[in-house]
Amino acid sequence: MKPMQDATPKPPKYPADLETSLILPKQRGSPASSLASLPYRTSNPSLHKLFESTASISTSRPSSGSATPTASVIHGSVFSPGSRQNGTGTPRALPPGVSDEHRTLIQQAFAPHVLVVADNETEELIRGKGLEGGLLQLLRPFGESVPGKVTIRDSVGASKIYEDFGVRFVGMNETNPPRKTGGDIAQIEELVDRHLQYSEFNAQGSLVPDYLNQGEPVAQESGKSPFYTLYMRRLLSGQPMVPHETFAHPVVGVIATSSRSADPVEQLRELYNRQHQGDLRSPEWVDGQFLRYYVFIHEEETGDIAKSTTTFDSMKRHFGLNCHLLRLKGQQCISSDDEAVRLPTCEWMSASEELAEIQKRETADDITDPTPYIPESDVTAIKTFVRELVAQSMVPHMERNIQQWNEQVLARRRGLSGRFMSLSKRWTAFGSSRTSSASAISSSNSNYDPRGFYRPDAPEALMRRLADYCFMLRDTKLALSTYEILTTDFNNDKAWQHYAGAAEMAAFSALLSPALLSPALLTPKVRTEKIDEWIKAATYSYTDRQRSATPFYALRTLVLALELLRLRGTAATDDAARWASRILEMHLVGPVGVALFTERISACFALRPGLGAFHLGSRRRKAAFWAVLAAQAWWEQSKALQAEKCLDTALHLYSTRAHGSEGSEDAPPRLPLDEMQTFVYELRTQILGLRLTNAGLGDGRDDPEGDDEHGDEATETLDASPRAHRKSLVGAVAPNIDVGPLSPALERTLEKDDLFEGAV
């Protein structure tokens, strides 16, 4: 197999012969007309800056290899986050051609949440700096990646160092249902579709630089779609606060006041009381005894530093050592100021937030980038604050709670008395009927509230927080053993959503556990009897075992399961493809998701190259088949660029199968059946026609109803001579029209007369 080309191919130069008429095959409606009306199609610098900043988040490193040449992707983007050198706590053994970016993405997604509350004077101070979102908008981007290394001790006292640890700063509105920041599959589909439309537009004429690769082609991992990574990131962003898991429950609460306040200490007390038992109180199934961290903001221009220091000392006497003096400038900063720094873009914004920002910029009269700028001194001060908050207060607080709950709750549950109590739940009222026994359990022995939650002080709730804390601190061994116990308790209580959540996280903990990293330990028997059963139980319980189905969590379960299994190498790729197929069977996603997960199935099968000269056990033909299906799915959505990439991948896989692992790039693939060649050729012709139509050169897709006479003529032209149709397709294009660079495979189709000889 030849390596992928280092440069993007130049667009072909079409002849100026306009005598041959171009009649494209009749196809479904195209988004060309709608794309023409989009604001960014008429050049909106503000909107382009938003897409560009979303794509340029630096979180990746080069992938470890490539088994199948696919489209290039920007190095270090939101679509390809990769790894930030996780330190000693993350396993490194990976199959050839696979990077650990999705494992890192999963670990970073489950981060501790920090609740931010500030008084009115402080919010006015921050808004005066040009940040309409107040203190939360200022702190949020800096919490997603804690500066420096974070040392975490596991349950046995061993210290591990991480460089990619982060937290999520959230506001009070995000902790009070029914308002949710994430969990909406339809919004994820809509957002990814917007990015796809923007990518398709950039491929036509290149009015603005390609926001995916910035003009720098970079080799990428086999079958890795940048939009799939975006889909996965937005699926894990903005996790809603729910009773059955505590990842979105606050671990720390930041209470802030400023030097503008008349009585800062009293203001902090008032905010605490409102948060503890007033109007800012969390739902009753959320533990309100989380750590409070008090912040005093000193305004550099107008504040008296001596007075602020005295106030801060008083704060430490009243509230303890969990306090911080944050010195910020109060004046608004513009881009032309000295030491002005653009506020970073949030990596983990939810789909609804990004869609709202896109809509806001589309409808705004001002086309300049509205992202605020802050002084570099503020950046340094905020990074110092975030590091002290996490390393000196939050992580030790979580470690102490883990140790306490492990000794006082989990150890008793594992002992003989705990097992007897578990049995008593199941067999209370010996000799009575099953109905009376069940009623006795629900009335006396179960801590499960009929409203659908456990009280925060119940043993089951404490163990769930223990397991979630361990998972967020990446102690997967203790998390796994705790989730296993919880699945039994939740099953006995018939708390199906809690049971699904525990089973889901048990599977993830097992797949992320360094102890099971070796394929010899994670045997097919272990996968079948443990992990597969947990995934099945979680998916079934999320969708069919409760009154209100939660497809979002079922989709999350299957997506993370397929990605973590895929990282296990060739032995688990079939299982990964099976769970991806389950997503399509259960209709959990929309059209964009269908195409993306069809691509992912192909990528899973492509990891099985086979053994020996005959490639025994290879799944390349299956991978090629699913790649063709993905190309057709993209074509049906009028995404010509994505369809072309998938079809190129399929033809390369067929070629590799036919010519061996070192198949020639120029050798035409010989498909097993003439019907297959006919289908692939017609699909390629339709994709090229769609590309021309999106560039404004075709007439077959502008009219969805179509003209029967022209449609018949197009069919006759294609059936009579594919070669003649190809020549008419090329000759009808006006000269000097740039429709974007075609792929090498598509150019070879136009050049070779014998590629599909005898196909029709």
Question: Which tens digits make up the pLDDT trace of 664-690?
Answer: 445 556 677 788 888 888 999 999 888
pLDDT at 394 > cutoff 80: yes
Q: Is the pLDDT of residue 611 over 80?
A: no
Radius of gyration of the chain (CA): 29
Nearest-CA neighbor of 221 among 31, 63, 365, 89? Answer: 63
Identify which has the larger pLDDT, 69 or 329.
329
Average pLDDT, the chain: 76
Position 434 pLDDT exceeds 70: no
Residue 515: its pLDDT value, please? 65
Instruction: Label the pairing between strands 168-170 and 340-342.
Output: unpaired
Most confident of 3-7, 11-15, 581-585: 581-585
Element (H, E) at 118: strand 113-118
pLDDT value of position 292:
96
- Name the band, by pLDDT with cuts 50, 70 and 90, for residue 293: very high
Reading the block at residue 373, the tokens are 């700028």
pLDDT tier at 615, thresholds 50, 70, 90: low
* Averaged pLDDT, 276-297: 92
Rounded Cα–Cα distance for residues 442 and 401 (Å)? 29
Confidence of residue 73 (pLDDT cuts 50, 70, 90): very low
Q: Grade residue 616 by pLDDT with cuts at 50, 70 and 90.
A: low
Give the residue among 523, 745, 541 at the shortest CA–CA distance from 648: 745
pTM of structure? 0.80
Structure tokens at 431: 């000799």
Count of CA atoms in the C-beta half-sphere (13 A) of 555: 24
Distance from C-alpha of 536 to C-alpha of 523, rounded to nearest angstrom: 18
Average pLDDT score over residue span 386-410: 95
113-118 vs 168-170, strand pairing mode: parallel
34 pLDDT band, cuts 50/70/90, is very low
Burial (CB < 10 A; 0-12, 13-18, 19+), residue 711, is middle
pLDDT in tens, 200-236: 877 654 434 444 444 343 334 455 688 999 999 999 9
pLDDT single digits (tens) 241-272: 999 999 999 999 999 999 999 999 999 999 99
User: Picking from 361-375, 391-405, 430-444, 515-529, which range would have the lowest pLDDT averaged per residue?
Assistant: 430-444
Candidate from 162-176, 417-431, 706-720 with smallest mean pLDDT = 706-720
pLDDT score at 317 = 94
Q: Nearest CA to 379 among 167, 168, 145, 166?
A: 145
**Which pLDDT value is given to residue 412?**
86
Model pLDDT, residue 613 = 60
On the question of pLDDT at 474 being above 60, the answer is yes
The distance of Cα 596 from the centroid of its chain, to the nearest Å, equals 13
Q: Look up residue 161 and give its DSSP letter.
A: E
CA distances for 546 relative to 95, 358, 362, 373, 542, angstroms: 39, 36, 41, 48, 7
Cα separation, 179 vs 157, in Å, equals 39
Percentage of the chain surpassing pLDDT 70? 67
| pLDDT (average), residues 646-652 | 90
